[in-house]
């Protein structure tokens, strides 16, 4: 494809040695920079806010022009510059791919998967040019049955075949992950678009059921953003699923998502209910699908054009990840896949998780968003004390805003209206306009959408660390929130424990709580309590017989040094949330509840 005499940037990718996990990429630049073309591999992948330095997996690289070798000089950890040359410049390089996650690339004899950010060098100065990609199979009989799953538009390749694909520019090129191998493939229609699901890895999933259930979820999302047309903003969408023994993760793209899950999370033939494991998978798929609107098209202004070489800062991930986390489960109940009780159980788990972490008092979700690169994505033993989750707490901020809007407008307005205004203003035409939500803009936008000023709430809940008034808000929809001690036992050590080599280790000592006050810290190994050797079981039995205020004599090792301390037991904090529908909540609450969770019927059990 040629536009105005501009030659496309051309890539060819071959799984050249699956056993050695090597992709070989040939990059041809028809019109290189006469001053010496520079090329670079991204430092991070959009959707996962951490510097990953993908260039560290480039194991060899060389350049040629007009049949002669061209010298390449490395300028920094990501960037190479070729010596001056007149004609087309060709680079050949190999990338080591053995990261079995949704964020990078993986290749072995069973399958290949890559994100463009791991394998396609960016041609500096030519990012706007169209790209062509020739995807080739590995050579050898044993790979005869391999095919390709991607939403990159075909440019000669048959659907699901090896061959030529294209992208309008580099940004689009790296926004369509590619799977190759012998995946299971199924398809369904939803929101006026064809949706496919490709499952890699050994599994016995009931794909017909998956399609039926995902179709309900996808239709519900489309309806939320486009209540009139009920259309998804794409012609084709692809769920790329990697089924493994243990695993969980997802990454969103403009018309596809890469998911990794436990094969036991997928429904098997004959299973009828929505098990907890399957609900986990549906929640993950729902989350990534919601991102099709919220973050891939409605973006913070800071992400309108990603700078792939360094951190991109925004204080708004509590909207883009938090609101997405709020709607992912909410859509499951609105589409009738889970009942109201099951939804309230899920919500109670989120509330409990947030309340158990002292970090919610140390950091706001706006600060957590900004520092995602160095904190949320790089957790350590002190994270529970220092970091608030813009996912979990962000989803509760969404809940608090939603219930506030519903109750103050008598159910006439909701957070859905806010999402729709962000969609029509920024999302619908994003790829032609590239404008995003300004850092300070949200309170005004919310006011415009629902006619309420909630500046103080937003300031306190998202930019401050005030506790969210969830109990009174939930009461307006006839839901009672109570906090209890759950199964925490009669006393608390004020620490998260881990067992290593059958010894009990402090994983985190919570700020100001019993273990920390006694002088214990993360990494300490508990040897004996009150003169008796302890392992996990003995410690649990011992604590079951104590009450708050009791003192324990603790022997512990810090590194190889033994020490003794006295620990005064705390009462376990009442952080475990329980949610239940109030009996006889009244007509107004019943109406608001119906507007919030949809339907009005209880949906299937599970
Ligand atoms: Zn997300």
> Residues 267-295: pLDDT tens digits?
999 998 999 999 999 999 999 999 999 99
Q: 434 with 410, same domain?
A: yes
Q: At what angle do helices 323-334 and 587-597 cross, to 10 degrees?
A: 100
Domain with 513 in it: what CATH number?
A: 2.30.42.10
CA of 321 to the centre of ligand 1 (A): 5
CA of 565 to the centre of ligand 1 (A): 43
pLDDT digits (tens, 9 = 90+) for 128-162: 999 999 999 999 999 999 999 999 999 999 999 99
In a domain, 279, yes or no: no
First to last CA, the chain: 52
Res 526 pLDDT > 80? yes
The pLDDT, as a whole number, for residue 602 is 42
In a domain, 15, yes or no: yes
Q: 420 with 458, same domain?
A: yes
CA of 316 to the centre of ligand 1 (A): 13
pLDDT digits (tens, 9 = 90+) for 163-204: 999 999 999 999 999 999 999 999 999 999 999 999 999 999
Domain that holds residue 355: 293-480+583-606
pLDDT digits (tens, 9 = 90+) for 67-102: 999 999 999 999 999 999 988 999 999 999 999 999
Res 601 pLDDT > 60? no
Res 589 pLDDT > 50? yes
Separation CA 241–CA 235 (nearest Å): 20
How does residue 487 score in pLDDT terms, banded at 50, 70 and 90?
A: confident
Pair of tokens at residue 572: 């376990």
In a domain, 577, yes or no: no
The pLDDT, as a whole number, for residue 604 is 41
Q: 21 with 118, same domain?
A: yes
Q: Quick check: helix, strand or coil at residue 65? A: strand
CA of 204 to the centre of ligand 1 (A): 27
Nearest to 552 by CA among 502, 495, 486: 495
Strand order in the sheet with 68-70: 68-70, 58-65, 89-96, 22-29, 9-17, 131-135, 163-167
The pLDDT, as a whole number, for residue 1 is 44
Separation CA 591–CA 586 (nearest Å): 9
- Give the distance between the most distant pair of CA atoms in the chain: 83
In this structure, the dihedral spanned by the alpha carbons of residues 455, 398, 475 and 219, taken in order and rounded to 10 degrees, is 140
Q: What backbone torsions phi and psi does residue 109 show, to the nearest 5 degrees?
A: -75, -10
In a domain, 2, yes or no: no
How does residue 606 score in pLDDT terms, banded at 50, 70 and 90?
A: very low
Q: 19 with 141, same domain?
A: yes
The pLDDT, as a whole number, for residue 506 is 98
The pLDDT, as a whole number, for residue 4 is 53
Q: Which of 211, 240, 271 is the endpoint of a domain?
A: 271
In a domain, 574, yes or no: no
CA of 221 to the centre of ligand 1 (A): 15
Q: Which of 124, 156, 180 is the endpoint of a domain?
A: 180
Q: Which residues surround ligand 1, an ion (CB under 5 A)?
A: 321
Q: How far is CA 453 from CA 425, 444, 446, 549, in A?
A: 19, 8, 8, 46
Domain with 232 in it: what CATH number?
A: 3.30.2010
pLDDT digits (tens, 9 = 90+) for 238-252: 999 999 999 999 999
Tell me the mean pLDDT in the region 205-210. 97
Q: 467 with 513, same domain?
A: no
Kind plus residue range of the DSSP H or E element containing 504? strand 503-509
CA of 389 to the centre of ligand 1 (A): 12
Res 461 pLDDT > 80? yes
Q: 470 with 518, same domain?
A: no
In a domain, 283, yes or no: no
CA of 396 to the centre of ligand 1 (A): 15
In a domain, 276, yes or no: no
Q: Which of 206, 236, 271 is the endpoint of a domain?
A: 271
Which pTM value belongs to this model?
Answer: 0.96
Q: 461 with 322, same domain?
A: yes
CA atoms within 13 A on the CB side of 602: 6
- Dump the DSSP string for 85-126: -SS-EEEEEEEE-B--SSSSEEE-SSEEEE-HHHH--EETT-
272-292: buried (b, 16+ CB within 10 Å) or exposed (e) per residue? eebeeebbbbbbbbbbbbbbb
Pair of tokens at residue 119: 């394998």
Q: Which residue matches tokens 């794909």?
A: 207
CA of 586 to the centre of ligand 1 (A): 36
Res 441 pLDDT > 90? yes
CA of 304 to the centre of ligand 1 (A): 17
pLDDT digits (tens, 9 = 90+) for 505-522: 999 999 999 999 999 999
Nearest to 296 by CA among 329, 321, 331, 259: 321
Q: How far is CA 415 from CA 50, 393, 445, in A?
A: 29, 16, 11
Res 578 pLDDT > 60? yes
The pLDDT, as a whole number, for residue 323 is 98
Q: 362 with 453, same domain?
A: yes
Q: 311 with 360, same domain?
A: yes
Domain with 387 in it: what CATH number?
A: 1.10.390.10
CA of 480 to the centre of ligand 1 (A): 29
How does residue 486 score in pLDDT terms, banded at 50, 70 and 90?
A: confident
Q: 174 with 190, same domain?
A: no
Pair of tokens at residue 366: 């706006």
- Number of domains within the chain: 4
Nearest to 105 by CA among 166, 168, 38, 58: 58
Nearest to 514 by CA among 538, 489, 549, 563: 549
Q: 406 with 468, same domain?
A: yes
Compare 603 and 73 and report the one with higher pLDDT.
73
Q: 43 with 89, same domain?
A: yes
């Amino acid at each position: 494809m040629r536009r105005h005499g501009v030659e496309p940037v051309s890539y060819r990718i071959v799984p050249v040695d699956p056993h050695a996990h090597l992709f070989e990429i040939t990059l041809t630049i028809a019109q290189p920079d006469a001053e010496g073309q520079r090329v670079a591999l991204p430092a991070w992948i959009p959707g996962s806010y951490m510097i990953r330095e993908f260039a560290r997996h480039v194991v060899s690289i060389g350049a040629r022009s007009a049949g002669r070798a061209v010298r390449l000089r490395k300028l920094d950890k990501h960037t190479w510059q070729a010596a001056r040359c007149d004609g087309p410049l060709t680079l050949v390089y190999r990338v080591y791919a053995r990261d079995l996650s949704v964020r990078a690339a993986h290749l072995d004899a069973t399958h290949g998967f890559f994100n463009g950010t791991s394998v396609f060098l960016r041609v500096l100065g030519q990012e706007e040019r169209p790209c062509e990609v020739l995807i080739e199979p590995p050579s050898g009989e044993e790979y005869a049955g391999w095919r390709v799953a991607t939403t990159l538009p075909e440019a000669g390749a048959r659907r699901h075949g090896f061959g030529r694909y294209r992208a309008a520019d580099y940004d689009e090129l790296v926004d369509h992950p590619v799977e190759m191998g012998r995946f299971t493939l199924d398809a369904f229609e939803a929101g006026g678009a064809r949706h496919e699901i490709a499952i890699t890895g050994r599994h016995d999933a009931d794909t017909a059921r998956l399609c039926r259930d995902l179709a309900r979820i996808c239709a519900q999302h489309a309806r939320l953003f486009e209540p009139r047309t009920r259309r998804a903003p794409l012609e084709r969408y692809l769920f790329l699923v990697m089924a493994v023994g243990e695993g969980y993760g997802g990454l969103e793209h403009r018309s596809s998502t890469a998911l990794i899950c436990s094969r036991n999370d997928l429904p098997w033939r004959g299973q009828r209910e929505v098990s907890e494991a399957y609900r986990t998978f549906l929640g993950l798929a729902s989350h990534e699908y919601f991102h099709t609107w919220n973050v891939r098209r409605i973006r913070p202004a800071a992400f309108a054009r990603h700078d792939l070489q360094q951190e991109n800062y925004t204080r708004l991930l509590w909207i883009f990840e938090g609101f997405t986390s709020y709607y992912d489960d909410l859509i499951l109940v609105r589409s009738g896949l889970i009942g109201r009780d099951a939804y309230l159980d899920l919500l109670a788990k989120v509330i409990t998780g947030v309340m158990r972490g002292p970090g919610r008092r140390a950091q706001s979700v706006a600060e957590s968003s900004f520092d995602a690169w160095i904190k949320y994505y790089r957790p350590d033993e002190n994270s529970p004390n220092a970091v608030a989750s813009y996912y979990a707490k962000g989803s509760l901020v969404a809940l608090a805003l939603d219930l506030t809007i519903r109750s103050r407008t008598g159910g006439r307005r909701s957070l859905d209206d806010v999402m729709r205004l962000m969609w029509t203003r920024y999302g619908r035409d994003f790829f032609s306009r590239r404008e995003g939500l300004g850092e300070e803009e949200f309170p005004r936008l919310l006011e415009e959408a629902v006619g309420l000023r909630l500046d103080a709430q937003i300031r306190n809940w998202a930019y401050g660390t005030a506790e969210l008034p969830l109990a009174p808000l939930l009461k307006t929809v006839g839901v009672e929130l109570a906090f209890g001690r759950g199964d925490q036992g009669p006393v608390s050590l004020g620490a998260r424990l881990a067992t290593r080599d059958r010894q009990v280790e402090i994983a985190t000592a919570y700020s100001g709580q019993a273990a920390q006050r006694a002088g214990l810290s993360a990494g300490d190994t508990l040897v004996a309590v009150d003169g008796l050797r302890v392992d996990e079981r003995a410690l649990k039995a011992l604590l079951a017989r104590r009450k708050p205020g009791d003192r324990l004599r603790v022997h512990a090792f810090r590194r190889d040094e033994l020490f003794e301390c006295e620990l005064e037991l705390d009462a376990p904090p009442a952080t475990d949330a329980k949610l239940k529908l109030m009996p006889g909540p009244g007509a107004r609450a019943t109406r608001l509840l119906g507007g919030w969770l949809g339907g009005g019927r209880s949906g299937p059990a599970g």
